[in-house]
Amino acid sequence: MPMHRPLAVSALALALAATIAPAHAADPTNAELLARIAALEQRIAVLEGNGSATADVDQRLRVVERNQELQAEADATKAAATPVVSLGEKGLSVKSADNAFEVKFRGLVQGDGRTWFGDDKFPQNDTFLLRRAEATIDGTWGPLVGFRLNGQFAGDSATVQDAYVDLKFDPRATLRVGKTKTPIGLERLQSSASTGEIELGFPSELAPGRDIGVQLQGEFQSGASYQLGVYNGAPDGRDGATTNPDDDFELAGRLFFEPWKNDANALSGLGFGLAASTGDKHGNGNNFLPRYRTPGQVQVFGYLGDVNANGAQTRISPQAYYYKGRFGLLGEYIVSKQDVAAPARSAEATLSNRAWQLLGGVVLTGEDAGYKGVVKPDHPFTLNGPGWGAFELVARYGRLMIDDDAFPLFADPAKSVAGESGWGLALNWYLTSNFKLVANYTQTRFDAALGAVEREDEKAFFTRAQFSF
């Protein structure tokens, strides 16, 4: 078998290099060069005549090439099966190589300081407080399934706040099963890390919190979105019980419109909608009847111990927000009507309680305001550097009004107020996208029920350090 020309040329080059390398020391004569060339020709002739040696070299080259191909295929297969792990400002994420599965780990910690002024008649304890310590796991499990699990570890015991599974049939139709926020209050639907002031406003005292149920939700390209669900039924201002406390359910829904969301015009930041709920409640105690609080989280209204929820409860809440550049405005109104009864006094009534608020803010450093707060400062705070983060100034005014018919048959005028109104100012300092400091002053005035002594104004100064990812 003749030798391949490349192999022959390679052999000739190697032999020639080895032969003439010493020439640097002394140049060979013409006769010596002719003798060397003749010797090389003899070696090449021997190699070309040795077919088995050539075939062996060729076979070895083919084996090496095939091994290289197999190793490349193995490396590609391993890369396709290796998950992608990333850690950054938004937390820890583990994603499959084909992007079909993803699990994200996130957290939120809020530490507060609370101080009251002029609280001689109704003294409150100045205190430091771990307001929230949350760990969240959420993600997707294939194209159909999404999930979220959120645990709250602040307080005396750990609780599960969110625990649901989403079946994502279509962006316009996702079925959510589990525990989630009831779609009523606009401010309640905000993330706890994004609210303009430290505590929620008066309308959130009449809106239900989280509840267990089944919810259908979706979004459309037109900017419209909806949520419609059936739940166990939560009282005003609080989460629902872990199981249905009676044999009744509650229907809740929300329509929200952002028709210019994707347009570059003055109305692109406008959103408005309507939320409502209806259902029956029959029972006594905290799982059925509300207790309303101040912006300082002090209870100032509660029903008498022998009063029962005794039938229908309905809520309706028009709501809107508008964000344009550094400016933001949020407003909502809510009416909560509930049938109550005091059997010992043969008294029944449908009480209608109302609340509203208007909250506005401006980002002093020029970043965009938004429903999710200042997402990221343009110049994060740096030690010994030029960055100071972002500063936002927020102001709020609101009012809560109790039905006059609540007194004195269903609520004690000496212990419960007939209404409250107040204002608040907050300075939010976003040092980075993960760390925020807040200073918040609120002042609340109370309406005394007929025949009751007027309660002194609540003056509270709250601070907060927040870390989230």
Number of independent structural domains in the chain: 2
How many H helices and E strands in the chain? 4, 20
Mark whether 178 and 43 lie in a shared domain.
no
Q: Report the relative pairing of strands 291-293 and 270-283 from DSSP bridges.
A: unpaired
On the question of pLDDT at 133 being above 60, the answer is yes
With residue 105 as reference, give the H or E element that holds it.
Answer: strand 101-117
Average pLDDT over residues 136-145: 97
Mark whether 62 and 175 lie in a shared domain.
no
On the question of pLDDT at 301 being above 80, the answer is yes
Distances (CA, A) of 400 to 278, 295, 357: 21, 11, 9
248 Cα distance to chain centroid: 31
Distances (CA, A) of 424 to 125, 162, 393: 20, 29, 11
Closest CA to 289 of 215, 199, 349, 356: 349
Instruction: Give the model confidence (pLDDT) of 255-296 as tens digits.
Output: 999 999 989 899 999 999 999 999 999 999 999 999 999 999
Mark whether 200 and 286 lie in a shared domain.
yes
pLDDT at 53: 59
Mark whether 51 and 91 lie in a shared domain.
no
Confidence of residue 26 (pLDDT cuts 50, 70, 90): low
Mark whether 53 and 110 lie in a shared domain.
no
pLDDT at 59: 78
**Cβ–Cβ under 8 Å, residues 237 and 293:** yes
pLDDT at 48: 60
Mark whether 130 and 224 lie in a shared domain.
yes
Of 80, 113, 146, the domain-final residue: 80
74 Cα distance to chain centroid: 39
**Cβ–Cβ under 8 Å, residues 392 and 372:** no
CATH number of domain containing 254: 2.40.160.10
Residues whose CB is less than 8 angstroms from the CB of residue 121 and which lie 6 or more positions away in sequence, other chains included:
455, 456
- Measured CA to CA, the distance from residue 72 to residue 120 in angstroms comes to 79
Torsion, Cα 161 164 168 174, to 10 degrees, reads -70
**pTM of the prediction?**
0.81
On the question of pLDDT at 251 being above 70, the answer is yes
Of 44, 59, 80, the domain-final residue: 80
On the question of pLDDT at 22 being above 50, the answer is no
On the question of pLDDT at 113 being above 80, the answer is yes
For residue 345, give its domain range.
83-468
Average pLDDT over residues 370-389: 93
On the question of pLDDT at 15 being above 60, the answer is no
Instruction: Give the model confidence (pLDDT) of 42-83 as tens digits.
Output: 776 665 665 565 667 677 777 777 777 777 777 667 666 789
What token pair was written down for 291?
Answer: 């207790």
Specify the amino acid at residue 326: R
Backbone phi, psi, residue 52, to 5°: -65, -35
Strand, helix or coil for residue 269: coil
Of 59, 80, 101, the domain-final residue: 80
> Token pair 């990333």 is at which residue?
86
On the question of pLDDT at 326 being above 60, the answer is yes
- Measured CA to CA, the distance from residue 171 to residue 219 in angstroms comes to 6
- Measured CA to CA, the distance from residue 149 to residue 168 in angstroms comes to 17
pLDDT at 7: 45
Most confident of 82-86, 121-125, 389-393: 389-393
Mark whether 71 and 108 lie in a shared domain.
no
DSSP 8-state code for residue 125: -
Distances (CA, A) of 211 to 73, 161, 244, 311, 313: 51, 9, 10, 19, 16
- Measured CA to CA, the distance from residue 240 to residue 312 in angstroms comes to 17
Confidence of residue 12 (pLDDT cuts 50, 70, 90): very low
> Token pair 């870390």 is at which residue?
467
Residue 365 pairs with which residues in a beta bridge? none
Torsion, Cα 5 7 12 14, to 10 degrees, reads 160
Mark whether 11 and 108 lie in a shared domain.
no
What 3 state SS string does 153-220 have?
Answer: CCCCCCEEEEEEEEEEEECCEEEEEEEEECCCCCCCCCCCCCCCCCCCCCHHHHCCCEEEEEEEEEEC
Mark whether 267 and 349 lie in a shared domain.
yes
Mark whether 50 and 183 lie in a shared domain.
no
With residue 27 as reference, give the H or E element that holds it.
Answer: none
Mark whether 30 and 142 lie in a shared domain.
no
Mean pLDDT of the chain: 90
Average pLDDT over residues 18-46: 64
Closest CA to 228 of 191, 189, 275: 275
Mark whether 145 and 10 lie in a shared domain.
no
**Cβ–Cβ under 8 Å, residues 209 and 189:** no
Least confident of 13-27, 73-87, 165-179: 13-27
